[in-house]
Structure formats: C-alpha cells, structure tokens
C-alpha cells in the first residue's frame, strides 16, 4: 500500500470480518487502484448550485387522489419550497454551502493522498458523441494520455428534505481504472442529522419524501425551517459543517485512505439506507472499535441487530447503552421498541418509552399499539 497515505491502525479481526461480508454487496469494491496509483485524478461536481429545499409535502399528500391533482400539488410544492429556499439564503447571507462542501472534500482527499493526486474537470456532456458511453471513453482516453492511472468522480448535493427538514449531505462516487475503463469502486454516502431509530424508513432521503417521523419540536414544515434559521443561521451552519465532515470522513474510510470512527459510522448509516444491514453492523462495530464512547455507533448497531432479527442482542446492547448514557434518547426509544414489539415485555418497554418521550424522542403509534397504550 502507498506509504504516502495517512492511515489509522485497525484490529485485523474486524478487517477480516468486513472482508467476509464483502461478497454480500453488489457495489464495486476495489479501491486499491486509487491508493496504489502513482498518478491519480479526481473530479467533484455539486448540483444543483443552490441548497436544495424540498420540505413541502403537498404533492406527496395528494398524488394518490388523482393525477391532475398531483400535478397541481407539484406546482404548490415548487412555490412553497422556493419561498423557503429564499428565506434560507437570506438568513445565511454570504455563507456558501457549495463552497464549504467542495473545499472540505478537496482538503481531506488531497491531504490523505499527499502527492500525485490532481483535480480534473468532471465528466462533460455527451454533445458531439453518439452516446454517454462514447463520451465517457473519450474522457478516460484523454486522462490516460496525460499519465493518469485512475480517476475518482464525485457528485455531491446537500439540502433539507421532508416535512421535518432533515439535513442531508450526499456524496456519490465512482472510481475507474483508466487502463480498462472499468468501474472498480462505487459508493453513495449520506450524512444526516437524525439518529437511527427502529422506525426509520431506510431509503435515500434525497430521492423521495420519507414518511414523516413526528419529532415533537416540529409541528409543521414552517416550524422545521424556523428551527434551522434561529440564531441568525448559526445552528444551520454548525450542523451543516458536521454533516460535511461526516460525509468526507466516510469517503476516506470507504476508499481505504483513512479509517475513523466517524467515517465508519456514516458509512454504516449509508449502508442502512441501502438496507444492507450486515455490512452496516460490521461498520458500526468498527466505529466502536475505534471509539468505544461513540453513542451513535452503539445505537446504530442496536438498530442493525433489530433489522437482522437479532432481538436479544439488540435488547442487551440497548440496556447497556441506556445505563452508560441515561440522557441519550435514541437508546431508550430502541430499547422500548425491541422489548415491546419483538420480545413482548410490555411493562419494561413502557418505562423505556416514557423515558424516550421525556428526552424528546418521537411518538410511535405502532409501538404504542404493541404496548396497549
């Protein structure tokens, strides 16, 4: 492995466990060419230029009624979201989310790969070519002619999604071997501002409105936007930079450039959104091996156990988490869920659920039915 790369030492047994799971995924997973190349290139493109604001749920609410009403709902969505986007832009002033994201990704990539990594233009349009494949091959040929062995292409976006304005930073990456034009590695990495709960809908939040989780502080999407805009946008800026840091750390982790607890956690969360629970569990375990105090990683592993049907393991870990961190709401919520819905221990589950609500966790009608509430 290229000695220029900065790395963290990680227990061999955990790496072996991840390797055993590698065959379970359909994602190309050969980042070695990037870490071993004498000369590599990368590109980054952020789209759209403006921060995405997609919080108005009108269209999703009415589209089941009639297609013509859904079209009207889409128009209402566009108007409302545009108003929210303008309010956000005004509150943030000169703060440029695109620049923050692009600068941080460039910094961590070029810092981990100390030399021999150049930034190049992102894939160009297909104008003048018969199809996208021909344009791709022409670009790869030109890069190979300049002496590059591999190219990493990143597509990045960021926004507020859903009626509770969930903050999301998303990095999608493809790594190609320029000697064969073959894609050797691909990832979609998603950093969000919500903890993992047993009721989380596991899907890409930038692709669709997810069913809303009733966070008590948000009654309407206006509440959610006002919450982000408070303190002259400082709350938004801090959270956004944390999301960017998480996405960038996950990128380094998944490229085998630098392992960190944060990178493993965000990579695991991203696997959960793909419903790849076994890989997610291994990544959360890795995060805990690197930082035993990571509450989010411990909680993520609980939810992975629940999704894998490993209910007693989930309950044991949840009980341990609530003992270690009695003010950490997600631990109590997930303990209530696994005890109440999966292990049929309603009395203990009610106590855990009540504590979760006291810590501002969302109400769950499904859990309450199981608890006879």
Report pLDDT for 174: 96
Q: Is the pLDDT of residue 68 over 70?
A: no
Q: Which of 13-22, 121-130, 245-254 has the lowest mean pLDDT?
A: 13-22
Structure token digits, residue 18: 């991840």
Three-class SS state of 167: strand
Q: Is the pLDDT of residue 71 over 90?
A: no
pLDDT digits (tens, 9 = 90+) for 276-313: 999 999 999 999 999 999 999 999 999 999 999 999 99
pLDDT digits (tens, 9 = 90+) for 137-171: 999 999 999 999 999 999 999 999 887 888 999 99
Question: In the 8-state DSSP scheme, what is residue 113?
Answer: B
Report pLDDT for 208: 57
The CA R_g of the chain, rounded to the nearest whole Å, is: 22
Q: Is the pLDDT of residue 64 over 70?
A: no
Report pLDDT for 282: 98
Task: Please state the rounded mean pLDDT for residues 40-64.
Answer: 73
Q: Which of 21-30, 196-205, 283-292, 304-313 has the lowest mean pLDDT?
A: 21-30
For 346, residues 6+ apart whose C-beta sits below 8 A from its C-beta are: 339, 340, 370, 371, 372
Report pLDDT for 84: 80
Question: In the 8-state DSSP scheme, what is residue 213?
Answer: P
Task: Please state the rounded mean pLDDT for residues 163-189.
Answer: 94
Query: pTM for this one?
Result: 0.85
* 48: preceding bond cis by omega (within 30 degrees): yes
Confidence of residue 26 (pLDDT cuts 50, 70, 90): low
Summarize the chain as % helix, strand, coil (round to 5).
55, 15, 35
Q: Is the pLDDT of residue 183 over 50?
A: yes
Cα–Cα distance between 373 and 370 in angstroms, integer?
8
CATH 1.25.40.10 fits 9-25+278-373, yes or no: yes
Domain range summary for the chain, segments of one domain joined by +:
9-25+278-373, 27-275
Cα–Cα distance between 338 and 159 in angstroms, integer?
32
Q: Is the pLDDT of residue 55 over 90?
A: no
pLDDT digits (tens, 9 = 90+) for 317-349: 999 999 999 999 999 999 999 999 999 999 999
Q: List phi, psi (to 5°) of 88.
A: -65, -45
In the numeric block, the tokens 């894939």 are attached to 123
Confidence of residue 352 (pLDDT cuts 50, 70, 90): very high
Average pLDDT over the chain, rounded to an integer: 85
Report pLDDT for 218: 47
Cα–Cα distance between 176 and 19 in angstroms, integer?
21
């Amino acid at each position: 492995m290229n000695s220029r790369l900065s790395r963290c030492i990680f227990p061999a047994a955990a790496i072996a466990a991840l390797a055993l799971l590698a065959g379970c995924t359909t994602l190309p997973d050969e980042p070695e060419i990037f870490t071993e190349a004498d000369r590599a290139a990368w590109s980054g493109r952020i789209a759209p230029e403006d921060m995405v604001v997609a919080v108005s749920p009108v269209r999703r609410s009415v589209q089941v009624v009639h297609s013509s009403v859904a079209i009207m709902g889409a128009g209402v969505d566009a108007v409302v979201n545009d108003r929210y986007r303008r309010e956000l832009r005004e509150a943030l002033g000169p703060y440029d989310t695109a620049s923050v994201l692009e600068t941080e990704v460039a910094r961590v990539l070029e810092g981990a790969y100390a030399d021999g990594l150049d930034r190049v233009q992102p894939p160009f349009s297909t104008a003048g070519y018969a199809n996208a494949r021909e344009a791709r091959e022409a670009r790869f040929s030109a890069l190979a002619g300049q002496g590059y062995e591999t190219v990493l292409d990143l597509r990045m976006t960021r926004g507020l999604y859903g009626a509770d304005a969930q903050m999301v930073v998303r990095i999608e990456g493809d790594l190609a071997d320029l000697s064969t034009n073959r894609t050797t590695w691909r990832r979609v990495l998603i950093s969000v501002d919500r903890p993992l709960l047993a009721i989380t809908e596991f899907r890409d939040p930038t692709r669709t409105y997810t069913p809303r989780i009733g966070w008590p502080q948000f009654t309407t999407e206006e509440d959610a936007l006002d919450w982000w805009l408070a303190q002259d946008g400082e709350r938004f800026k801090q959270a956004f930079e944390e999301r960017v840091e998480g996405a960038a750390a996950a990128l380094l982790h998944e490229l085998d450039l630098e392992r960190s607890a944060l990178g493993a956690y965000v990579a695991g969360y991203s696997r959960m959104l793909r419903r790849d629970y076994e890989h997610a569990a291994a990544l959360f375990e890795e995060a805990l091996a690197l930082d035993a105090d990571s509450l989010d990683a411990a909680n993520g592993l609980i939810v992975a156990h629940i999704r894998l049907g490993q209910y007693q393991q989930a309950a044991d870990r949840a009980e341990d988490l609530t003992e270690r961190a009695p003010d950490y709401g997600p631990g109590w919520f997930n303990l209530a869920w696994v005890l109440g819905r999966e292990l049929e221990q309603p009395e203990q589950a009610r106590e855990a659920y009540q504590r979760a609500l006291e810590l501002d966790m969302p109400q769950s009608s499904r859990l309450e039915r199981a608890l006879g509430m």
